């Protein structure tokens, strides 16, 4: 019984992200289309690179936009807090 408890205690915890669906169906469809096509291997490579670059660009643009919105909100909150403190004085 004691050795069983030790074994359980040394196991790494299960990831909480284990059950989150991570399949990108559009990407799977894209890959299926690419490999079903009669394109040369070099053309397939080029198309996949272009697709991934487009995803990366979209991802970084989205992050940049969220950062901008967050910064605007922080500035707005700072100004609001400053105005409240000024009112109390």
Residues with Cβ within 8 Å of 44's Cβ and at least 6 positions away in sequence, in order, are 34, 35, 37
Within-domain flag for 67: yes
Residue 2 lies inside a defined structural domain of this protein = no
What's the total number of domains in the chain?
1
The per-residue pLDDT for range 12-51, each reduced to its tens digit, is 566 555 665 666 778 888 888 888 888 899 988 998 899 8
Range of the domain at 56: 24-88
Question: What tokens does 1 get?
Answer: 């019984």
* Domain presence at residue 38: yes
Question: pLDDT per residue over 8-20, tens digit each?
Answer: 555 656 655 566 5
């Amino acid at each position: 019984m004691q050795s069983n408890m030790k074994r359980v205690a040394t196991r790494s915890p299960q990831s909480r992200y284990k059950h989150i669906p991570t399949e990108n169906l559009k990407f799977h469809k894209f890959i299926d289309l690419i490999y079903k096509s009669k394109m040369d291997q070099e053309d397939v490579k080029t198309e996949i690179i272009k697709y991934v670059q487009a995803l990366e660009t979209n991802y970084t643009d989205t992050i940049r936009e969220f950062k901008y919105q967050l910064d605007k909100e922080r500035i707005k909150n700072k100004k609001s807090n400053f105005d409240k403190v000024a009112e109390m004085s």
